[in-house]
Amino acid sequence: MFTGKIRPGRAGRLQLSAISTKALNACRLYGIVDLSYVEKSDAARVAEAMIKGGVDLIQLRGKGKSIGELVDVATELHETTSRSSTPLIVNDHAEIARKVPIEGVHVGQDDDPIAVARGKAGRPLLVGKSTHSLEQAHAAQREGADYIGFGPIFATPTKPDYQPIGLKDIKQAHLDVNLPIFCIGGIKIDNLELVIAAGAHSVAIVSGLLKAPDIVEYARACRKLLTLKSEIRNPKSEI
């Protein structure tokens, strides 16, 4: 569960005040509620299961959905995520932040630049960026991203047009980039140890979580592995 500071927002809502790099660095498991896998009516239940299983951040992704649809789903999701102070990130559409008190937005290489996304949001919030190479990771840091997604590590049906980048650059990305890095793309419990051994501290999991027979237990197993490896790597750090 995310441990950043929160403050009461308008209408009694909880909003994350200052999500620091240190707090983001403590996050291990990033879940994505992808509406190509999940029915809109089931999104809140899936998010609740992720949170119960120990997911630190949740992203709403709805490729091809209208802004109105995404606003409706984000509103319902935020009612769920705010109860546990879990940041809710919306993919692509920063303007949703003007209608729903989400905590962040995530943009891809072909989406709005980070400065434009912040302008559309109209208020301070997290902005993460997808990167597919070391060069793009460096560029995202220069651009002012709060965190990056790095991948796809393995082939994934979520991003069929992207060539997997493999494991070889994970360690170098962590050496080069002074930002929280969430490795993503085809990562599942079966290959998670390989990703961690290659140098990953944190991961985002999509289909592995969403297609699991028991989302709670699947998330717990992934979180346990990530936390255990992190404690071995940094025995004196606070997780």
Catalytic residues: 61, 130, 159
Q: What is the DSSP letter of 8?
A: E
CA distance 174 to 105: 22
- If you ran DSSP here, which 8-state letter would residue 40 be given? G
Q: Of 232, 144, 156, whose CA–CA distance to 196 is shortest? A: 232
Q: Are 80 and 31 in contact (CB under 8 A)?
A: no
Enter the tokens of residue 69. 């649809």
Q: Where do we find the tokens 């419990």?
A: 189
Can you state the angle between helices 43-53 and 67-81, rounded to 10 degrees? 40
The β-bridge relationship of strands 6-8 and 14-16 is antiparallel
* 3-state SS, one letter per residue, for 154-204: CCCCCCCCCCCCCCCCHHHHHHHCCCCEEECCCCCCCCHHHHHHCCCCEEE
For 4, 92, 201, the CA distances from 218, given in Å and listed in that order, are: 24, 27, 18
